[in-house]
């Protein structure tokens, strides 16, 4: 530990993509960090980079797809005597394919990372923020959370859960000094689709840095939901209110091309 009085943020999924860029945004705005993901090497490289900003970055490798991982991470933070002022639940997994043909292990991993670990970690750290009457929480959902998603049924469903949870928590903690922001990116230039099993190139609408910039501004402002970009807002509204007789086959066709 150092003697810093800077606020400290915990970022999950901090080994690539949006997680790395959110960490950079936080450090530029004066935060120290706890970085957590499965892969340690990229996080150590990021921590070394961020030393130029006088940031103290603690690396805690944890596999959030395993039962009990959120408790393990929270305990590691507590053991180090660290206070988390900002929680960024960014870790997420996807899987492409028809539900009955998906690897059951992959389905379980998606549920643990996208739903269970996110919920448990928030439950473990939020009470301390409320007691201190300050803090911010970000849940990273997706524009996928606004509609059902054939050929990515589990992923879309988990992001709908994250969006619902985030909006409810934001309402519950009003007046406590704590805010909850749910970030909903669209297609982003990360390794997400490659890891999810895509065989074709992703056509992103935004870079990870752009998404992180929008998301961090929303987090600072205490906004309840942030959808990244005008086109994504249109898609989200269409997904939520459009007739499923149209949105279901359109989404299935899009996922079939990946």
Quote the pLDDT of residue 166: 98
- pLDDT over 80 (residue 159): yes
130 burial (CB, 10 Å; 0-12 / 13-18 / 19+) is: middle
Give the model's pLDDT for residue 201.
42
**pTM above threshold 0.75:** yes
Residue 173 contacts residue 250 (beta carbons within 8 Å):
no
CB count within 10 Å of CB 182 equals 28
* pLDDT of 4: 63
Whether residue 249 is predicted with pLDDT greater than 90 in this model: the reply is no
Quote the pLDDT of residue 1: 42
pLDDT at 196 over 60: no
What integer pLDDT is reported at residue 240 of this predicted model?
81
**pLDDT value at 74 more than 50:** yes
CATH code linked to domain 8-256: 3.40.50.720
Worst-scoring range by mean pLDDT, 25-34, 57-66, 228-237? Answer: 228-237
216 pLDDT band, cuts 50/70/90, is very high
216 is catalytic: no
Contact yes or no for 227/143 (Cβ under 8 A): yes
Lowest mean pLDDT of 56-70, 139-153, 222-236, 237-251, name the range.
237-251
Active-site entry in 112, 155, 161, 216:
155
Q: Where are the domains of the chain?
A: 8-256
């Amino acid at each position: 530990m150092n003697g810093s009085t800077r606020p400290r943020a915990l970022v999950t999924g901090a080994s690539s993509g949006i997680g790395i860029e959110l960490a950079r945004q936080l450090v530029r705005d004066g935060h120290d960090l706890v970085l957590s993901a499965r892969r340690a090497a990229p996080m150590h490289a990021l921590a070394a980079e961020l030393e130029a900003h006088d940031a103290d970055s603690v690396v805690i490798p944890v596999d959030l797809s395993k039962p009990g991982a959120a408790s393990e991470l929270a305990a590691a933070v507590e053991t180090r005597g660290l206070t988390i002022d900002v929680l960024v639940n960014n870790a997420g997994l996807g899987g492409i394919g028809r539900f009955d043909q998906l690897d059951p292990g992959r389905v379980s991993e998606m549920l643990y990372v996208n739903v269970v670990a996110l919920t448990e970690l928030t439950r473990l750290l939020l009470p301390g923020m409320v007691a201190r009457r300050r803090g911010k929480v970000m849940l990273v959902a997706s524009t996928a959370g606004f509609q059902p998603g054939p050929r990515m049924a589990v992923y879309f469903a988990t992001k709908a859960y994250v969006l619902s949870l985030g909006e409810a928590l934001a309402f519950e903690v009003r007046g406590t000094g704590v805010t909850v922001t749910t970030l909903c990116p669209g297609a982003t230039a990360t390794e997400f689709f490659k890891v999810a099993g895509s065989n074709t190139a992703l056509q992103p609408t935004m870079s990870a840095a752009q998404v992180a910039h929008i998301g961090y501004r929303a987090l600072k402002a205490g906004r309840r939901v942030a959808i990244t970009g005008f086109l994504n807002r249109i898609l989200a509204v269409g997904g939520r209110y459009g007739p499923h007789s149209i949105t279901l086959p359109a989404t299935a066709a899009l996922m079939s091309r990946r």
